[in-house]
Amino acid sequence: MAMPRNYIKFGNVSIVAQRNQEQSYKPLSKADKIPRTEAGYCVSEDNIAAIDFGTTSVSLAYTTTSAKDSGVNTLILDREDHSNRVPNAILLKRNRRSVIVEEFGTSARMKFEKKKASEYPQYIYFERIKMLLKRDKGIDRQTLVESFSGEKFYLVEVIAFILQCIKKKLIIQLNRNEDVFQTTDFDW
């Protein structure tokens, strides 16, 4: 007897793959598509930065045209441990009607742990946000993640806070040398 192509047998267990209805993958309706030439990024230079946004940690590697060595460098994100990988954690602080980044990485975790209960309403702490996502659910611009205080934020907002913080740290580090960089000088 010929087995169907979507049939798999493991010992006494048989698995038959079955396709459900075709899914509709509509483009994000709320996102304006900006052509790369209008984005203001310097696509012709060799300044490149790459962020590894992992499940539990974050790191950044970069290369610049002005680097004395032409290799890839990693940004030290934790000065105390001299580590280029830090926990995927961010501490936000309410500032009247807006929210600002207070700390990122290991320092965010340590600062949050030292807070008194009376200070909690002023702060919003996220850690390992990718671990909070459900594997069986789709992710889109409306996906929510919950902070340690129970508040829900859009995942895209929390990721944006983290990415902005890392980009800022890179520019500060590079500008300590005689070079002058802006985030728009890099392909990300």
Q: Residue 91 has what pLDDT?
A: 92
Residues 47-96 pLDDT 10s = 888 888 888 888 888 888 765 656 777 777 777 777 778 888 899 998 88
Contacts of 13 (CB under 8 A, 6+ apart): none
**Which tops the pLDDT comparison, 124 or 3?**
124
In this prediction, residue 37 has a pLDDT band, given cuts at 50, 70 and 90, of low
**What number is the average pLDDT over the span 96-125?**
87
Q: Residue 42 has what pLDDT?
A: 52
Residue at 45 is within a domain? yes
Enter the tokens of residue 79: 């000065």
Residue at 54 is within a domain? yes
Residue at 132 is within a domain? yes
- Domain count for the chain: 1
Residue at 4 is within a domain? no
∠ CA 46-169-65, rounded to 5°: 15
Contacts of 167 (CB under 8 A, 6+ apart): 49, 183, 188
Amino acid at 184: T
**In terms of Cα–Cα distance, which of 63, 65, 64, 58 is closest to 84?**
58
Handedness of CA 27, 28, 29, 32 (dihedral sign): negative
User: Residue 167 belongs to what domain range?
Assistant: 36-185
Residue at 18 is within a domain? no
Residues 173-183 pLDDT 10s = 888 776 777 77
Q: How many helices and strands (H and E) does the chain possess?
A: 2, 11
Residues 164-174 pLDDT 10s = 888 888 888 88
* Mean pLDDT for the chain overall: 73
In this prediction, residue 143 has a pLDDT band, given cuts at 50, 70 and 90, of confident
In this prediction, residue 3 has a pLDDT band, given cuts at 50, 70 and 90, of low
Residue at 94 is within a domain? yes
Q: Residue 26 has what pLDDT?
A: 44
pTM of the model: 0.67
Residue at 61 is within a domain? yes
pLDDT at 10 > cutoff 60: no
Residue at 16 is within a domain? no
